[in-house]
Amino acid sequence: MKAVAVIPKQPNSAHLVEMDKPNPGDVGCGRGVMVGVLRVGACGTDHEINTGEYGVAPKGYDYLVLGHENLGRVVAVGENVTEFEPGNYVVATVRRPRGTSVYDKIGEQDFTTDDKYYERGISRLHGYMAEYYVENADFLVQIPSAIADIGVLLEPLSIVEKGLKQASDIQERLKIWRPKTAAVLGVGSVGLLAVMALRMRGYTVHGFGLDHREGYLNAELCEAIGATYDSTAETSIAQSTEKYGPYDLIFECTGYSPIIFDAMQALNENGILILASVTGGDRKADQVPSDKINQMFVLGNRALVGTVNANREHFEMGVKDLALCEAMHPGWLGRMLTHKVVGLENFAEAFEILNNTGKYKAIKTYFEVKKI
């Protein structure tokens, strides 16, 4: 079977590889599920792995098969799999509990403290940019057929769901928390999914991005789901509170770290700021009003939390939001799927789009490996 792989740490090394087709027996205890891949998302992480920034090949290989945003259909199951049958649509989670930390041992591997972690398509495990994969049934989540065509959005949504779950867990400190307004900083694919998940929870949502509103599809999608959109080229996040008031929750996913200090000053008392950008550079912020920010956090009981990766429960929360959104705003999620690349052999097309998302106005780029 075909797969798209990179030589980790070697820039622009994406290439096709030919691999043996896996079978359910590759996973022990009869728990293997063989999945035929239908769609695989291509995101900033895949782009960064292909530019050589990170990525680790599995033991015994000099290449790593890419792909962690996935949707597939069950082809065959091992003898001890009762929860899936051939024909079911499924999405696989990304990180595996292979580390030595206590979090791995209790199945909370998304909170691992190990430096060496195991993530399919990213670190030490092959990913889903292939025609087939086999996985333990424990790491698969079923997708109702009615939302199969947007199922490839579940993995990026799971990151948002984990952020929101952490926020509600942390806010239990307040005994009662009735958040009303939220700001989402950065309305790329993750940001739009955050706008959606917050709208599904009834928040008044304000989306922010660098681009001007006119003719910007992402801004149109914010407004189509009942959120506002403002360009930070015109209004800073701190200034926006003059118009909208301070935010009870802010979800940051711009990839531009200096903005977080602005966000900290836009947070309401008792509010929470969720950081979701993986910023691998060495940018430094100057002119940070540290006394003011510190005092606001202390006197206002504000909270800050980082979020990465997601566990099964966050994927399950995501399935519910996808279904609710599709029922309330039919077609909205489908509009996020802007760029389809047909066939894994056309991987160069996908990387060309990822290298120039601005030029292509891409929200979500994905491979159609096989028609749904």
Contacts with ligand BGC by CB under 6 A lie at 43, 45, 68, 94, 119, 122, 155, 159, 278, 308-309
Residue closer to ligand BGC (CB basis): 11 or 306: 306
Give the start-end residues of each E strand in the chain. 2-6, 15-18, 32-42, 64-65, 69-77, 89-92, 95-96, 118-120, 124-125, 132-136, 140-143, 181-185, 204-209, 228-231, 247-252, 267-275, 303-306, 339-342, 365-368
Residue closer to ligand BGC (CB basis): 92 or 333: 92
Instruction: Report the distance separating Cα 236 and Cα 283, nearest Å.
Output: 19
Instruction: Report the distance separating Cα 270 and Cα 179, nearest Å.
Output: 10
Residue closer to ligand BGC (CB basis): 5 or 76: 5
* Least spacing, CB of residue 342 vs ligand BGC, in Å: 23
* Least spacing, CB of residue 95 vs ligand BGC, in Å: 6
Residue closer to ligand BGC (CB basis): 9 or 329: 9
**Cβ within 8 Å of residue 243, ≥6 positions away:** 235
* Least spacing, CB of residue 287 vs ligand BGC, in Å: 30
* Least spacing, CB of residue 358 vs ligand BGC, in Å: 19
Residue closer to ligand BGC (CB basis): 189 or 232: 189
Instruction: Report the distance separating Cα 29 and Cα 78, nearest Å.
Output: 8
Give the start-end residues of each E strand in 162-302. 181-185, 204-209, 228-231, 247-252, 267-275
Residue closer to ligand BGC (CB basis): 238 or 308: 308
Burial class (CB in 10 A: 0-12, 13-18, 19+), 330: exposed
**Cβ within 8 Å of residue 82, ≥6 positions away:** none
* Least spacing, CB of residue 69 vs ligand BGC, in Å: 7
